[in-house]
């Protein structure tokens, strides 16, 4: 009851964003839970073909800064609504009009345009709606809600394919409907002042470290988005229900971890959080790549499951990069364009990683793809050590702890 009363007191814009975030979490997870099995079932593609598909899927990430620049007259919330419509169209068309691999790639591109426009906006709008000093906490709460929605989405896929005779067409249609509903909510939000024309194409040298951290995240993320599920589907022969279950379990973990991570960012600072992420990622990549070669088959599968889940959790640490950008911004107007530009530059490298990773997989074996992840994690550790937060934004652990205790007593 107290939670319901607290929700009612929230500002209207935050309520709309919360509902939109839940719908997006549902939609994206339903799509992600079925996408790899859809490819394997309908087209029976090889590892290299799977990696090549990352080109049309990731090119929108490279183009997102130019798309945002063309749509500069739309504020962040209207742009988010348009992104949802792109995603809905791409999802529905992929389900019903994919007679060939080539045509299907067009719909993947369309869906991906919406997905990548949304990526920087999820943090930008969330930070717009956060109280000063609690930006990380707010992003953690919002991500936790998306994880809760992801659990429901994975559960829907699990029940649907196991008991309700779901097809890929059905799941892609559900995704499209949910994204359309999210678009309606974004269009109902009060518009924020739009950015100046050309602001998305301005690059500030003061943000070079943030851009570099984003490149490293995009490269490491691509390894797991492309190859981690593909290892489970093709090497360990796991069905759709298993992938959905893993995403559901990851979502459950995220419900509790995301708010904790947000508070850690606000109290410990981005530097320590990103350093810890790098260390954890080294062990995850080594275990994911080599468990099958040094452990019995069943044990290796369990270890790989655990690594898959840990990486899902580590993906959340990207919010620390967003809050870091928010703290070093020369002007609040720089935040969304910088977040958007970071998506573009990290995709230049992530597309390359996908293609190179596919070649390495075919030539040497999948385990060597994850050695690249180890190298990226090591570089990320030393890059994170260079983070220097302006004095006025440095965390004050004692003050925040006292304030939190006082709030909980009230």
Q: Find out whether 355 and 343 touch, Cβ atoms under 8 Å.
A: no
Task: Note the pLDDT of residue 300.
Answer: 92
Q: Which residues contact 59 (CB under 8 A, 6 or more apart)?
A: 109, 112, 347, 351
Residue 408's SS3 state is: helix
**Mind listing the pLDDT tens digit for each residue in 166-207?**
888 999 999 999 999 999 999 999 887 666 655 677 778 889
- Top-ranked range on mean pLDDT: pick from 69-78, 171-180, 225-234, 252-261: 171-180
- Over residues 97-104, the mean pLDDT reads 87
DSSP type of residue 73: T
Q: Does the residue 5 lie in any domain?
A: no
Residue 247 has pLDDT above 80, yes or no: no
Q: Per the domain annotation, does 1 fall within a domain?
A: no
Taking the CA atoms of residue 58, residue 63, residue 65 and residue 70 in that order, the dihedral angle to the nearest 10 degrees is -140
What would the mean pLDDT of 62-90 be, rounded to a whole number?
91
pLDDT at res. 85: 97
In a domain, 183, yes or no: yes
Looking at residue 26, its pLDDT comes to 93
> How many domains, in total, are found in the chain?
1
Q: How far apart are CA 224 and CA 219, in angstroms?
A: 9
The pLDDT tens digits of the residues spanning 336-355 come to 888 888 888 887 887 788 78
Q: What are phi and psi of 21, to 5 degrees?
A: -65, -40
Q: What is the pLDDT of residue 75?
A: 87
Give the mean pLDDT of the chain. 85
Would you place residue 41 in the very low, low, confident or very high pLDDT band (cuts 50, 70, 90)? Answer: confident
CATH code for position 170? 1.20.1250.20
User: Residues with Cβ < 8 Å from 65, sequence gap 6 or more?
Assistant: 200, 201, 337, 340, 341, 343, 344
φ, ψ at 231 (rounded to 5°): -65, -45
Say whether pLDDT at 365 is over 70: yes
pLDDT at 399: 40
Report whether pLDDT(51) > 70.
Answer: no
Chain segment 217-232, per-residue pLDDT in tens: 988 888 888 888 888 8
**What whole-number distance in Å separates Cα of residue 137 and Cα of residue 385?**
22
Beta carbons of 151 and 251 less than 8 angstroms apart: yes
Q: Is 355 domain-assigned?
A: yes
- d(Cα 297, Cα 238) in Å, to the nearest integer? 13
pLDDT value for 90: 95
Residue 2 forms part of a structural domain = no
Identify the domain containing residue 45 by its residue range.
11-403
Nearest alpha carbon to residue 278 among 149, 385, 129: 385
pLDDT, position 404: 40
Supply the angle between the helices 240-268 and 397-409 in degrees, to the nearest 10: 110
More confident: 7 or 247: 247
User: Does residue 4 sit within a domain?
Assistant: no
Per-residue confidence (pLDDT) for residue 6, from 0 to 100: 64
pLDDT of residue 410: 34
Instruction: Output DSSP code: residue 94.
Output: H
Let me know if residue 408 belongs to a domain: no
Sign of the CA dihedral running 314, 320, 322, 324: negative
Q: What is the pLDDT of residue 271?
A: 93
Q: How far apart are CA 5 and CA 372, in angstroms?
A: 49
pLDDT: which is higher, 151 or 371: 371
> Residue 93 domain-assigned?
yes
- State if pTM tops 0.95: no
How many alpha carbons lie under 13 Å from residue 55 in its C-beta half-sphere?
9
Which stretch of 2-11, 213-222, 392-401 has the lowest confidence by average pLDDT?
392-401
With CA atoms as reference, report the closest residue to 272 among 372, 399, 374, 397: 397
Tokens at residue 294, please? 């040094």
Mean pLDDT comparison of 150-154, 358-362, 403-407, highest-scoring range:
358-362
Q: Which of 277, 304, 309 is nearest to 288 (CA)?
A: 304
pLDDT at 223: 87
């Amino acid at each position: 009851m107290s939670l319901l009363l607290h929700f009612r007191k929230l500002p209207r814009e935050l309520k709309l964003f919360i509902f939109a975030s839940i719908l997006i979490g549902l939609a994206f997870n339903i799509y992600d839970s079925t996408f790899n099995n859809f490819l394997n079932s309908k087209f029976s593609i090889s590892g290299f073909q799977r990696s090549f598909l990352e080109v049309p899927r990731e090119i929108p990430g490279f183009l997102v800064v130019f798309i945002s620049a063309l749509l500069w007259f739309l504020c962040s919330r209207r742009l988010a609504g348009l992104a949802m419509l792109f995603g809905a169209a791409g999802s529905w068309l992929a389900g019903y009009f994919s007679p060939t691999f080539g045509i299907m790639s067009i719909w993947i591109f369309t869906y991906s345009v919406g997905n990548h426009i949304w990526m920087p906006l999820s943090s930008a709008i969330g930070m717009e709606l956060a109280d000063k000093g609690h930006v990380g906490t707010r992003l953690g709460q919002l991500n936790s809600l998306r994880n809760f929605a992801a659990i429901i989405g994975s559960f829907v896929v699990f029940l649907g394919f196991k008991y309700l005779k779901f097809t890929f067409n059905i799941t892609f249609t559900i995704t499209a409907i949910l994204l359309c509903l999210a678009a309606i909510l974004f269009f109902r939000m009060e518009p924020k002042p739009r950015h100046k024309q050309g602001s998305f194409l301005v690059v500030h040298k003061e943000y070079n470290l943030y851009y570099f951290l984003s490149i490293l995240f995009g490269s490491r993320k691509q390894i797991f988005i492309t190859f981690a599920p593909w290892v489970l589907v093709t090497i360990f022969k796991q069905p759709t229900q298993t992938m959905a279950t893993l995403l559901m379990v990851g979502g459950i973990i995220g419900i509790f971890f995301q708010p904790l991570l947000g508070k850690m960012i606000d109290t410990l600072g981005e530097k320590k959080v990103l350093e810890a992420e790098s260390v954890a990622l080294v062990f995850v990549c080594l275990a994911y790549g080599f468990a099958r070669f040094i452990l019995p088959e069943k044990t290796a599968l369990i270890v790989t499951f655990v690594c898959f889940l840990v990486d899902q959790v580590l993906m959340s640490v990207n919010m620390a990069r967003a809050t870091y950008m928010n703290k070093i911004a020369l002007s609040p107007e720089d935040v969304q364009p910088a977040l958007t530009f970071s998506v573009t530059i990290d995709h230049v490298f992530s597309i390359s990683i996908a293609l190179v990773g596919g070649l390495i997989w075919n030539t040497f074996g999948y385990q060597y793809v994850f050695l690249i992840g180890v190298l990226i994690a090591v570089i990320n550790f030393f890059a994170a050590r260079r983070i220097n937060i302006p004095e006025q934004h440095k965390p004050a652990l004692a003050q925040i702890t006292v304030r939190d205790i006082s709030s909980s007593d009230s």
